[in-house]
């Protein structure tokens, strides 16, 4: 009897030390990585390092946790409430977009890691997904891979499967829902996930109806979930009640809209009859977003709340908006704003090249993460932003010469 009691006590103590040990390890790891954060002085060195991290993460993408708990993390792991595969798909999409852009703009730096990554996702023999993404989150990954491959035909079957996934998420109003268990709710996230891919697919496979669907997704959101005075979206809206849901001014929510809008514009042919609509929307959104940029170039996770924590995800996506607004208009105010975004991102980059202080995963409408950490999606999109920014600057210098 005494042996049984002793054994139980030993097991309980062991479990206790495992639980506490994991918490302590994660805490001190976070503290350690933030020592000497933001001490980058040369943008070239910084870009090389953040891209190096992006390339490494293609081999094994870090987990973005879905819990805000910083205590008893072991219990979340046991209950499978620590991570989600759907979150990982858009993280990977950001990595591919970033590392592919860097590789294409730097001769002799072909990134075999992207090829390996795509081979792990797409069957080389059939061109189909090895595992079709279960949700629309995965569409942005399909878009990123399609933008990277030199011959789209190699993955054409997977792209058709991705369109089928989108079609399966079409609601009664003709727009795409985020999850099938809430078919009457439209989330701003979905604009970023699907609109660039729909446009790419429509252009490359001569299917204009999918370009129309991307426009419809944006127009309905603009009509039902935007403030009248400024182009800032609500988190979601209900198609039955035509009512916005969640808060206005969630930073990454605006970022999702920016991503869908800008990349869709870039995918459209120059002579497309509705490209001017997107052009005007980009400029209007850029003008309205400028007022929320802080003196150090960053943006807060909640735009309307002064002093709210810096969020690297909206900061990099706002930079993408400003840079593209400059390319459209030639207004140097936008280029300066993009440069300030980049400077602020340098200040929150760890000494190992990992961009920090990205708001964690959202739990639901109005329920936003309280943790700020790394995010592969932001890492990759920052690489894309900086590479594209440098290309624009180079063109400007050549014009001056």
Nearest to 60 by CA among 120, 141, 122: 120
Residue 15 inside a domain? The answer is no
Q: What percent of the chain stands above pLDDT 70?
A: 87
In a domain, 239, yes or no: yes
Residue 390 vs residues 116, 157, 364: alpha-carbon distances, Å: 28, 35, 37
Task: Give the number of C-alpha atoms closer than 13 A to the C-alpha of residue 284, restricted to the C-beta side.
Answer: 16
Neighbours of 99 (CB within 10 A): 29
Query: Which residue range(s) make up the domain with 337?
Result: 34-400
Whether pLDDT at 185 is above 50: yes
Q: According to DSSP H, which parts of 330-375 are helical?
A: 332-346
Three-state DSSP state, 357 = coil
Tens of pLDDT, residues 11-44 = 777 766 666 665 554 554 566 668 889 999 999 9
Q: Per-residue pLDDT averaged across 278-291, rounded?
A: 98
- Look up residue 184 and give its two tokens: 């009457």
Does residue 4 form part of some domain? no
Q: How far apart are CA 47 and CA 101, in angstroms?
A: 12
Confidence of residue 78 (pLDDT cuts 50, 70, 90): low
103, 130 Cβ separation under 8 angstroms:
no
**What pLDDT was estimated at residue 1?**
58
CB neighbour burial string for 150-172, b if at least 16 within 10 angstroms, e if fewer: eebeebbebbebbbebbeebeee
pLDDT at 343 over 50: yes
Q: Coil, helix or strand for 307?
A: coil
In a domain, 26, yes or no: no
Structural domains counted in the chain? 1
| 8: in domain | no
Of 64-78, 185-199, 287-301, the one with minimum mean pLDDT is: 64-78
User: Model confidence over 190-243: pLDDT tens digits?
Assistant: 999 999 999 999 999 999 999 999 999 999 999 999 998 999 999 999 999 999
Taking alpha carbons only, the member of 80, 53, 49 closest to residue 66 is: 80
Q: What is the pLDDT of residue 187?
A: 97
Give me the pLDDT at residue 363, please: 78
Would you state the pLDDT for residue 72? 45
Total count of residues recorded for the chain: 401
Phi/psi of residue 23, nearest 5 degrees: -60, -45
Statement: residue 340 has pLDDT above 70: yes
Please identify which residue in the block is written with the tokens 């340098």.
Answer: 346
CB 318 within 8 A of CB 303: no
Phi and psi at residue 182, to the nearest 5°: -135, 65
pTM: 0.90
Q: Is residue 103 part of a domain?
A: yes
DSSP strands (E only) in 58-193? 185-187
Nearest residue to 163 via CA among 148, 149, 146, 187: 146
d(CA 14, CA 242): 54
What CATH number should be reported for the domain holding residue 264? 1.50.10.10
> Which of 124-128, 357-361, 380-384 shows the lowest per-residue confidence on average (mean pLDDT)?
357-361
pLDDT in tens, 153-174: 999 999 999 999 999 999 999 9
- Strands (E) in 240-377, as ranges, are 243-248, 358-359, 372-373
Is 350:44 a contact under the CB 8 Å cutoff? no
Q: Is residue 81 very low, low, confident or very high in pLDDT (cuts 50, 70, 90)?
A: low
- Mean per-residue pLDDT of the chain: 90
Sign of CA dihedral 348, 294, 277, 393: negative
10 in any annotated domain: no
Stronger pLDDT, 71 or 305, i.e. the higher one: 305
If one compares 83 and 337, the residue with the highest pLDDT of the two is: 337
Q: Quick one: average pLDDT of 103-118?
A: 83
Mean pLDDT on 287-297:
97
pLDDT range class, residue 106, cuts 50, 70, 90: confident
CA separation for the pair 65, 381 (Å, rounded): 19
Could you give the 3-state DSSP secondary structure of residue 358?
strand
d(CA 319, CA 334): 9
Tokens (6 digits) for 315: 């900061």
pLDDT at 277 over 70: yes
pLDDT band of 66, cuts 50, 70, 90: low
**pLDDT of 254 over the 90 cut:** yes
Q: What is the pLDDT of residue 335?
A: 98
What pLDDT, on a 0 to 100 scale, did the predictor assign at position 40? 96
Q: Is 22 within a domain?
A: no
- Judge whether residue 69 has pLDDT over 70: no
Distances (CA, A) of 269 to 46, 200, 202, 211, 213: 34, 10, 11, 11, 16
Helices (H) and strands (E) in the chain, counts: 14, 5
């Amino acid at each position: 009897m005494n042996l049984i009691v002793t054994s139980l006590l030993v097991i309980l103590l062991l479990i206790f030390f495992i639980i506490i040990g994991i918490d302590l390890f994660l805490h001190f790891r976070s503290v350690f990585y933030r020592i000497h954060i933001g001490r980058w002085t040369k943008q070239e060195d910084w870009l090389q390092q953040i891209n190096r991290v992006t390339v490494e993460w293609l081999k094994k993408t870090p987990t973005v946790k879905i819990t805000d708990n910083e205590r008893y993390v072991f219990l979340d792991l046991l209950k499978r409430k620590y991570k989600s595969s759907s979150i990982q798909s858009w993280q990977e999409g950001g990595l591919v977009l970033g590392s592919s852009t860097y590789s294409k703009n730097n001769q002799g730096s072909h990134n075999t890691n992207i090829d390996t990554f795509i081979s792990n996702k797409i069957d080389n023999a059939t061109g189909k997904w090895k595992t079709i993404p279960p949700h629309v989150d995965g569409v942005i990954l399909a878009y990123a891979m399609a933008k990277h491959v030199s011959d789209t035909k190699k993955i054409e079957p997977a792209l058709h499967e991705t369109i089928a996934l989108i079609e399966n998420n079409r609601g009664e109003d003709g727009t795409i829902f985020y999850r099938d268990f809430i078919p009457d709710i439209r989330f701003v996230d979905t604009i970023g996930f699907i609109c660039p891919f729909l446009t790419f697919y429509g252009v490359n496979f001569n299917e204009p109806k999918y370009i129309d669907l991307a426009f419809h997704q944006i127009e309905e959101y603009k009509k039902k979930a935007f403030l009248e005075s400024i182009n800032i979206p609500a988190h979601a809206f209900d198609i039955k009640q035509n009512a916005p849901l969640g808060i206005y001014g969630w930073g990454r929510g605006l970022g999702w809209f920016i991503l869908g809008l800008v990349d869709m514009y870039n995918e459209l042919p120059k002579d497309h009859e509705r490209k001017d609509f997107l052009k005007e929307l980009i400029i209007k959104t850029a003008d309205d977003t400028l007022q929320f940029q802080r003196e150090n170039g960053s943006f807060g996770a909640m735009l309307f709340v002064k002093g709210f924590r810096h969020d690297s995800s909206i900061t990099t996506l706002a930079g993408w908006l400003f840079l593209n607004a400059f390319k459209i208009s030639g207004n140097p105010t936008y280029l300066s704003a993009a440069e300030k975004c980049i400077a602020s991102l340098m200040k929150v980059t760890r000494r190992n090249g990992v961009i920090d202080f990205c708001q964690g995963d959202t739990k639901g409408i109005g329920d936003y993460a309280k943790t700020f950490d790394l995010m592969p999606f932001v890492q990759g999109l920052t690489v894309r932003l900086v590479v594209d920014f440098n290309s624009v600057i180079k063109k400007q210098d050549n014009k001056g010469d």
